[in-house]
Structure 1
Amino acid sequence: MNRSTSAGGGHGRRRRLTLRTPAVAALCLTGTLALGAAPAPAAPARAAADPLARFHHQHVDFKSCLLGPDDTTGKELEQAGARCADVTVPLDYARPGGRTITVAISRIRGTDTAHRAGALLLNSGGPGGQTIGDPPWVRAAMKDVGARYDVVGVDPRFVGRSTPLDCRWPTGSMIRGAGVDRAGFDRMVALSAELADRCRAHAGDLLPYATTRNTARDMDVVRAALGERRISYLGYSYGSYLGEVYATMYPRRVDRVVLDGVIDPARYGPRLLRGTEAANRHALRDWAGWAAAHDTAYGLGRTRGAVLAAVDAVQAAAARTPLRVGAYRVDEHVVPVVLFNGLSQDNPAAFGDFAQAVRDLRRAAEGRAVTPSPWLAESLRFLLTGDDSAYGSAQTAILCGDVPAPRDPETYWRDLRRAGTRDRLFTPVTDDIGACAFWDPPRERPTAIRGDLPALLVNATGDPRTVYRGAQTMRRGWPSSRLVTLRGADQHAVYGVFGSSCVDSAVNAYLAGGRLPHRDLTCSRPAG
């Protein structure tokens, strides 16, 4: 917005409420805080020519990625041969001689030095999603082509290991359902104001600098510090917007660009989820058909209609009184987010997780004692505790810092009422008020994205987070680009994730030779 809200999932990773790829490493709250630290001073002549010279020419000290015995991400990186480092960047690029922060990176070096293509920087979405743990699975997805690249994961500023920003929220996400009446909506207004106030109190010195433009500037410092004249880039979901911004700000610094789950920059902002309702209803119907075919396992009904009725019954019960699910009270504001979060991955494992969650919620609605299934327990822990406060804090800070949101609560209430009864499940999530309504105005205008870029765009037709028309819009706006469409899948993030050999081969061929396909490609959903 999501890493916005979506549901990543797969590769054993936790699904997050964010516009991001499912293949993101588990959240690690350990970070490096280097306030006031700076790289060694550069030569005076160099500094005079380039105010960022001391950052561009800093020494990057790669070391072990392992932070401790419980660091799962570090262990995976170590096993893949990755090394990690901290790159120092200005907190405020308008004052490069002032306070500094660090950005954490990981790197798997390329082994095919005879055909080296340079560095491939990654962003797996969010905003707020960690990327430092992604080089191993991306390197595997690239197959033999990966040996030509240094594959580099970057935790964006204020995320994960990169000087984390934490507003000390009692939740991992600002996103909630609006409720069924004005009283419920007013509760969400109060919650949104409280979350914004907590950010001002606990992270106010960092908030003005949490922007996509500053993240792009950090990327360019990473590029220079690694000694690269140009970089290639792979960005998923929100990472597609970051790639659009970077390519606009630094057009001579990009080589091969792959954007998967493409955001239309004209629609990017705190209300990015608006307009995804139809895609989510389609995904819900497809899942319901699958659940009906597996009624023996989940007991939600033998027809699609019966399964959808079970979903409606859960929502209606939560609107009457909060459901008791294990240790949690799940009310009308939380149930719609759990349901929304269950739809972004189109595969049997994700479908099964979601079916178990709906089964548990229905049992709770019937007054039965419930021990939540692992996916539901994780979702409720994320939404109803402060364990992942840093994730939601960073995501919100970036969204609010990029584009202003409407400030009058009545704007949101009118939108909700206008939607009426057309969609009682998803519109209360996508049109609800959020913390950005109470945020200080952004310091910079949003980036006006460049008119053309020879990039490779990837999107599924049924993507319920970054809807397909966003990729179509960018394809029209970038005549030199090409679009790879995965047809017939309700899938968010495709390359290296969904298992489409057609998509993966097209991306790898482009990364190998740097040549886009002659025309747009359409790949069918794999059988089975």
Structure 2
Amino acid sequence: MGSPASRIGTAVTVTVALAAGLLTTGATPGHAQSPTGPLVWRSCPADVSDHPALRCAVLSVPLDHRDPQSRHITVTVSRIPATDPARRLGTLVLSPGGPGIGGLAMPAQLHGPGQPPQLGQRYDLVGFDARGVRHSSPVSCGLPVADRAVRYPAPDGSIAHSVAHARATAQACRREAADVLPHITTANTARDLDRIRAALGEERISFFGLSYGTYLGAVYATRHPHRTDRVVLDSALDPNRIWYDLVRLGGLGLTQRLPDLTGWVADRHHTYRLGRTAAAVEHRYRTLLRDLDHHPITYPGLVVDGNWLRDYTRDNLEQPDASQFPHIAAVWQELAAASRAPATGTPAVVADAIPATSVPAGAAVPADNRQTVGYAVQCGDAAWPRRPERYAAAVRRDRTLFPEDAGRSATITPCAFWPAPVEAAPMVGAAGPRNILILHNRRDPATPWVSGHGMHQALRHRSTLVTADTGGHGVIGANDCATALALRYLTDDRPHLPASRICPGDGQILRRDAGVGQTYAVPGRGSAPALAPLGR
């Protein structure tokens, strides 16, 4: 699952419609292909990175791995070789969040300013765009990009407009790419990953995955346990909730994260004038949302309603700790003032909050590529409930339990009208070596802590769960203690998987946590290199 920014932390939450059923690049007719061979490294696409050491290669893979003699597509892979070959530990494959986020730039990002040098010194860093994503035979349903608001129920809780939108979107995807989308799945991407491993000439690979990348890594480690070396999963998805039950956790995650913000704003009442207590600030925010639901504010070129503010707040709460709190508070303050007086122009704090949506003319990647891949994976991995009435009931319940989410996480999606998956959802299990480190923030609004704990339960003895007692989506680069543990595990000559524990923000162990395990002393603040944010 994605977010607006990323580190190696993170990943890090994004026009051209394709002809029906066709891929823009890499598709070949239904002829037998030669077995996986060595990769031929060339320059990367111009929009990936200008890092001088980054090279890309194209790998041919079956569209349907169950029929390897059928039509093939291409997967683009990137690499920067280890800068200290004498101490090289192997290949570290990097996977961002999503589904639908490209990963080709990740090796270059880890060689950028502020990144820990030992990863690039000791590993060949390898990224890839997963099948269907960006430079790997990109797919498209020809969808409009600005369709986020339809994910929310109406202010009165009705989902009628969401049902109509979900049905129309599913129909568009069947019309534009019905022969391709059923095979854009986590199971097939895991199969592609093993072909990448073989093409790299590696017996085993290490793996770092963020958010959705954790599910891919866990599926791969389950299918190929002895082809994995060291595995780090940051902000993990619960494999036993794929996908509707996982998406529905968004209301819980937002509710657990929001007090970090409201308490911070209350402590600065002299600046923002939004309330002297966290409860007062939360009440002001709810009142502002309700006002905007019924009386949106029109700025030049922008209409700000309650859902716009909900999305803006949610997206920025995914950033680590309090890094975006001043921006959120400033927008709340401006909108609270504007709700009492007509808007005469777009204020700077609101203008800065408007995301760029333009796509360069002649762009090779369809504008709706990320949306399309997201639907394909989430709808194609596992079956969703079919009856709109079930979603309506879930929305009614969750709007009461998690009012700031307004039913967004429980509502219907195109998956309700999607064709049945072509195979069962991939399993995650405990057979294999103990080599998987799971990192999770206590108050993650995108993948709540219970999701990371679910991954730990699925992997059992194979894994350790390190909990960072902080908020935001993405642990490495945002928490010194957890970052130190992960870097040590990845780069020690004789790796030792640490015990499950809790890491607070100051790098000291605070307490034992039921269900997490024994705690031990770890290095204090400053022991881990600071990781700079990576662009998602």
How high is the TM-score relative to the length of structure 1? 0.84
C-alpha displacement at 1:157, in angstroms?
0.8
More deviation, 365-374/97-106 = 365-374
Distance 1:286 1:228 in 2: 44
The reply on whether 1:409 has 2:388 as its aligned counterpart is yes
- The match for 2:442 is 461
Q: CA deviation at 1:351?
A: 1.8
Taking a change above 3 Å as real, the CA distance of residues 365 and 215 of structure 1, as seen in their structure-2 partners, is farther
Deviation at 1:65, TM superposition (A): 2.1
1:176 aligns with 2:168: no
Is residue 139–residue 151 contact of structure 1 (8 Å, CA) maintained in 2?
A: no
**SS of residue paired to 1:96:** coil
For residue 243 of structure 1, the aligned residue among 197, 205, 217 is 217
Q: Which amino acid aligns with 1:485?
A: T
Give 3-state SS (helix, strand or coil) of 1:404's partner: coil
Deviation string, structure 1 residues 15-44 (Cα, Å, up to 9, x no partner): xxxxx9643497999996111179xx9xxx
Alignment correspondent of 1:336: 310
Could you tell me how far apart the structure 2 residues matched to 1:37 and 1:358 are?
A: 54
Query: Which among 28, 32, 35 is matched to residue 27 of structure 2?
Result: 35
Task: Tell me, yes or no, if structure 1 residue 522 matches structure 2 residue 496.
Answer: no
Is 1:437 equivalent to 2:429 in the alignment? no
Answer yes or no: is 1:472 the counterpart of 2:453. Answer: yes
* TM-fit CA distance, 1:225: 1.0
Q: Percent identity?
A: 31
Q: Contact 1:235 / 1:260 at 8 angstroms: preserved in 2?
A: yes
Secondary structure (helix, strand or coil) at the match of 1:486 reads strand
- RMSD, aligned CA: 3.1
1:334 positional shift: 4.4
Q: Distance in 1 between matches of 2:299 and 2:282?
A: 21
**Unmatched segments (≥5 aa) in structure 1:** 12-19, 42-50
Q: Is the 8 A contact 2:14 2:370 kept in 1?
A: no
Aligned to 1:44: none
Residue equivalent to 1:507: 486
Tell me if the contact between 2:382 and 2:425 (Cα under 8 Å) persists in the aligned partners.
Answer: yes
Q: Would the aligned equivalents of 2:96 and 2:210 in 1 still touch at CA under 8 Å? A: yes
Equivalence for 2:239? 265
Give, in angstroms, the shift of residue 108 of structure 1: 1.0
| Partner Cα distance (2:448, 2:128) in 1 | 25
SS at match of 1:218: helix
Instruction: Indicate which of 65, 84, 97 corresponds to 2:44.
Output: 65
Q: Which residue of 1 aligns with 2:135?
A: 161
Deviates more, 1:124-133 or 1:301-310: 301-310
Question: Is the counterpart of residue 493 in structure 1 residue 474 in structure 2?
Answer: yes
Q: CA 1:304 to 1:62, structure 2 compared with 1: closer, same or farther past 3 Å?
A: same
Say if 1:147 and 1:357 are closer, same or farther in 2 by CA, change over 3 A: same
Structure with higher RCO (Cα < 8 A, 6+ apart) = 2
Q: Paired residue for 1:376?
A: 353
Distance 1:22 1:363, change over 3 A: farther
Q: Deviations over 1:418-474 (max 9, x none)?
A: 335332221511111111111111101011212245211111111122221232233
Alpha-carbon shift at residue 380 of structure 1 (Å): 8.0
Residue type of the partner of 2:154?
G
Matched residue type, 1:293: D
Distance of 1:10 and 1:238 partners within structure 2 = 13
The answer (yes or no) to whether the contact 2:237–2:246 under 8 Å persists in 1 is no
Q: Which AA in structure 2 matches 1:211?
A: T
Quick check: 1:56 aligned with 2:36? Answer: yes
CA shift for structure 1 position 144: 1.9
Does residue 234 (structure 1) correspond to residue 211 (structure 2)? The answer is no
The 10-residue stretch of structure 1 (167-176 or 425-434) with the greater mean CA deviation from structure 2 = 167-176
Query: Distance between the aligned counterparts of 1:145 and 1:245, measured in 2?
Result: 24
In the alignment, is residue 126 of structure 1 matched against residue 98 of structure 2?
A: yes
Partners of 1:27 and 1:125 in 2: CA distance: 22
Measured in 1, the distance between the counterparts of 2:488 and 2:504 equals: 18
Cα deviation digits, residues 464-515 of structure 1 (max 9, x gap): 222212322333442132222212x1121111x31x2321221111112352
Residue 11 of structure 2 aligns with which residue?
23
Contact 2:141 2:368 in 1 (8 A): yes
2:397 to 418, 432, 436: 418
Matched, 1:256 2:230: yes
**For residues 244 and 27 of structure 1, what CA distance do their matches in structure 2 show?**
33
- How many correspondences in the alignment? 489
Aligned equivalents of 2:366, 2:404: Cα separation in 1: 27
Q: Normalising to structure 2: TM-score of the pair? A: 0.83
Q: Structure 1 residues 193 and 318, CA, compared in 2 at 3 Å: closer, same or farther? A: farther
Partner of 1:482: 464
1:401 offset after TM fit, Å?
A: 0.6
The one-letter code sitting in structure 2 at the alignment partner of 1:23 is: A
- What amino acid sits opposite 2:371 in the alignment? G
Q: Report if the CA contact (8 A) 1:35-1:99 is conserved.
A: yes
Structure 1 pair 136–164 and aligned structure 2 pair: CA distance change class (3 A): same
Quick one: structure 1 residues 151 and 244, their matched pair in 2 at CA, closer, same or farther if it must change by over 3 Å? same
Q: 2:199 aligns with which of 214, 220, 225?
A: 225
Shift of 1:319: 2.4
Q: What are the superposed Cα offsets for residues 301-333 of structure 1, whole Å, 9 maximum, x if unpaired? A: 444334323321232123214432442334455
What is the CA-CA distance between 1:110 and the residue it aligns to?
0.5
User: Does the CA-based 8 Å contact 1:119-1:231 persist in structure 2?
Assistant: yes
1:21–1:237 contact (8 Å) kept in structure 2: no
Instruction: Provide the secondary structure at the position in 2 that maps to 1:153.
Output: strand
- 1:144 has 2:121 as partner: no
Which stretch shows the higher mean deviation, 292-301 or 401-410?
292-301
* Unaligned residue ranges in structure 2 (runs of 5+): 360-364, 508-524, 526-536
